[in-house]
Amino acid sequence: MSSELEQRLEGLLAEAPEPDPGAEEEALHRALRALHPGAPARRGLRTAVLVFAAAAVLLGIAAGSLAAAGALHVSFGHKAKPRPATTQLVLPKGANGVAAIIDGRLSVVTTGGFRLQGLPVTSAALSPHALFVAAGIGQSLVALKPSGRQAWSHPARGTVIAIAWAPFGNRIAYIVRIGHRFALHVIWGDGTHDTPIDRRVRAVRPSWRADSLAFAYVGAGGKAIVYDVGHRNRSILAVRAPVTGVAFAPTGDSVAVEQLDGVWVLHQSSAAKIQGHVDAFGWLSGRLADVVPGQGFVLVRLYASSGASRGSFRAQGNAVTVTPKIVVLRRGRNLVAGRTTLLTIPRRSTVQMLEIG
Beta strands in 210-333 (DSSP E): 214-218, 224-228, 233-236, 245-248, 255-259, 262-267, 270-275, 280-284, 287-293, 298-303, 309-315, 318-322, 327-331
Q: How far is CA 133 from CA 111, 143, 211, 325, in A?
A: 13, 6, 21, 20
pTM score = 0.77
What lies within 8 Å, CB to CB, of 20 at 6+ separation is 61
pLDDT digits (tens, 9 = 90+) for 170-195: 999 999 999 999 999 999 999 999 99
Pairing state between β 195-198 and 181-188: antiparallel
Whole-number pLDDT of residue 296: 78
pLDDT score, position 149: 57
CB atoms < 10 A from the CB of 11, how many? 11
For the segment 145-176, what is each residue's pLDDT rounded down to a tens digit? 766 555 799 999 999 999 999 999 999 999 99
pLDDT of residue 60: 43
Q: pLDDT (tens digit, 9 = 90+) per residue, 71-125?
A: 344 444 444 444 444 457 899 888 999 999 999 999 999 988 888 888 999 999 9
Give 44's pLDDT tier (boundaries 50, 70, 90).
very low
Q: What is the pLDDT of residue 199?
A: 97
pLDDT at 228 over 90: yes
Checking if the pLDDT of 19 tops 70, the result is no
Amino acid (one-letter) located at 164? A
- Out of 5-14, 79-88, 202-211, 313-322, the most confident range is 202-211
Banded model confidence at residue 259, pLDDT cuts 50, 70, 90:
very high
**276-323 confidence digits (pLDDT tens):** 999 999 999 999 999 998 877 999 999 987 888 999 999 999 999 999
H or E, element range at 42? none
Whole-number pLDDT of residue 294: 84
Instruction: Name residue 321's beta-bridge partners.
Output: 328
Handedness of CA 242, 247, 249, 170 (dihedral sign): positive
Amino acid 32: pLDDT: 32
What is the pLDDT of the chain when averaged over all its residues? 80
